[in-house]
Structure 1
């Protein structure tokens, strides 16, 4: 079974979605399951994990309601305020829905120290009681604190989104390589091969631009902790769904069948308990 471990849905609102820059104007519109379903079918992808794109509980409810309506949405990574006094109560509320699989916060928009503040750590501690996953959306300059965070919670399952958004056009930096290696040493951390098309200058890329990053991720995380994600519809600013999928498929062509099955679906199924 092929699973897209990372995509989004939204009803476009200018104020809420102000994060979408001018160069991504192509995605300043609604994206719903009826838009994605034929794309997945055309590309022989069996299901997906819908990930939050706004830091509100309404976003979590919106995605869970879509998952009830569309069977191909196998799981939801929502949002809960880890710094709130009622975090445990809210997690218990959402956990009643079997498709609620995890939580993400837009850490990339916060200071590097945000994830190590006492309030956030207290929320993470409460989170550990629910057997849920945590998606790490961070940048390279936040990786050192990310390593400290995941070290504090060795029994919590984490997954790095978009390889911490390296500048693909400039190639692999020594700093990124060292930090990703240290993060991968933490066996409770997995990684998504996702979101890199838009990490290119002027969205200009060749498939081989991505292979060194994928090679390195496979080397340090191994085949059991990597999963394919499209980052649709954000990725549409830089290419079609088939482009994103084709880059991964071409990279995996020389790998054995078991490795391919793991990265293209089995790892996501196991990680998110789909």
Structure 2
């Protein structure tokens, strides 16, 4: 029986200067979020644990997340941050080489002034090559207007698993057909998977409810297939929409007609393969 895994969540001790992306419009997030708060939410849904993802671009945060993972068994894997383009990359990787729960890295490309340019930097290319040689997964955090460059980026870096966070942050108001056009080339790359996460907190027009959002889930199933999709709550960011259960219920509704094996893959089997297998490739 595969593990049941929430493939995307965060912890932090809130400090305004350290989490600048948490704006005045997000009062729900301006507090600490730590393992005791998430643990009962996982247990209520029969989830065995979660993949803990970076929320601050600082090596110190990665070290803190790893300490949490040593202290809390429900943290099954950590996706940290490292300076891919920095001269200290090799030293940083050596420093954490014995940390079994460190399974991948992420950069908040969506927050770069020129995210497309960042992905095209030669230093970033060299850094990606280095972390993939070391067996790490890479989480791809981009917005819908960066998907074309992200596709070229992913095609260059095919020696390990890449995971698209939050559907690639689609423009919900533009409709599912536009998102399908944008993400189809990326979904065609077999080493790229997609997290069914984050959709509930993307801007959407008035009157856009669950029925409209389910169209994105249906399209993701068509594009990636059940073997390359992962349920993720994006807790506590999901609290901007409502309780943890809303995203869980929406995913459950989206996959209800799939076979038991396909549902199990999306609810943990794929995350286990990508983030927990020893070689880290997920392939």
TM category (shorter chain) comes to over 0.9
1: CA distance, partners of 2:97 / 2:206: 38
Q: What displacement does 1:203 show?
A: 9.0
Task: State the partner residue of 1:183.
Answer: 186
The correspondence for 1:212, drawn from 210, 215, 234, is 215
Q: Which residue of 1 aligns with 2:143?
A: 139
TM value normalised by structure 1: 0.96
Shift of 1:169: 4.5
* Aligned twin of 2:164: 160
Once the two structures are superposed, the pairs formed by residues 1-274 of structure 1 within 5 Å of their partners are 1-110=3-112, 111=114, 112-174=116-178, 176-201=179-204, 206-273=209-276
Alpha-carbon contact 1:4-1:48 (below 8 Å) kept:
yes
Which runs of 5 or more structure 1 residues have no equivalent in the other structure?
none
Give the CA RMSD over aligned residues. Answer: 1.5
The answer to whether the Cα contact below 8 Å between 2:9 and 2:51 also exists between their aligned partners in 1 is: yes
Give, in whole Å, the separation in 2 of the partners of 1:94 and 1:109.
Answer: 26
Preserved CA contact (<8 Å) 1:235 1:241: yes
Runs of at least 5 residues in structure 2 that lack an aligned partner in the other structure:
278-283
Does the residue aligned with 1:45 lie in a helix, a strand or coil? coil
CA contact (8 A) 2:194 2:224 kept: yes
Q: How many residues align?
A: 273
Residues 186 and 31 of structure 1: CA distance in aligned 2, closer, same or farther (over 3 Å): same
Contact kept, 8 Å, 1:203 with 1:238, in 2: the verdict is no
How has the CA–CA distance of structure 1 residues 204 and 32 changed in structure 2, closer, same or farther, with 3 Å as cutoff? farther
SS, match of residue 78 in structure 2: strand
Shift >6 Å, 4+ stretches = none
- Bigger CA drift: 122-131 or 220-229? 122-131
* Distance of 2:48 and 2:172 partners within structure 1: 29
Task: Quote the Cα distance in structure 2 between the aligned partners of 1:152 and 1:90.
Answer: 23
Q: Structure 1 CA distance, aligned partners of 2:151 and 2:256?
A: 32
C-alpha distance in 1 between matches for 2:175 and 2:242:
19
CA apart distance, 1:204:
7.1
Shift of 1:207: 2.1
CA distance in 1, matches of 2:208, 2:25: 15
CA distance in 1, matches of 2:181, 2:171: 15
| Structure 1 counterpart of 2:281 | none
CA distance in 2, matches of 1:205, 1:231: 20
8 Å contact from structure 1 (residues 162, 193) kept in 2: yes
The Cα of 1:22 is off from its aligned counterpart by: 2.4
User: How does the TM-score come out when normalised to structure 2?
Assistant: 0.93
Cα deviation, 1:220-268, whole Å, max 9, x if unaligned, reads 1111110000000000010111111010011111111111000000000
Give 1:41 deviation, angstroms: 1.1
**C-alpha distance after superposition, 1:158-185 (max 9, x if no partner):** 00000111133442142x3122110011
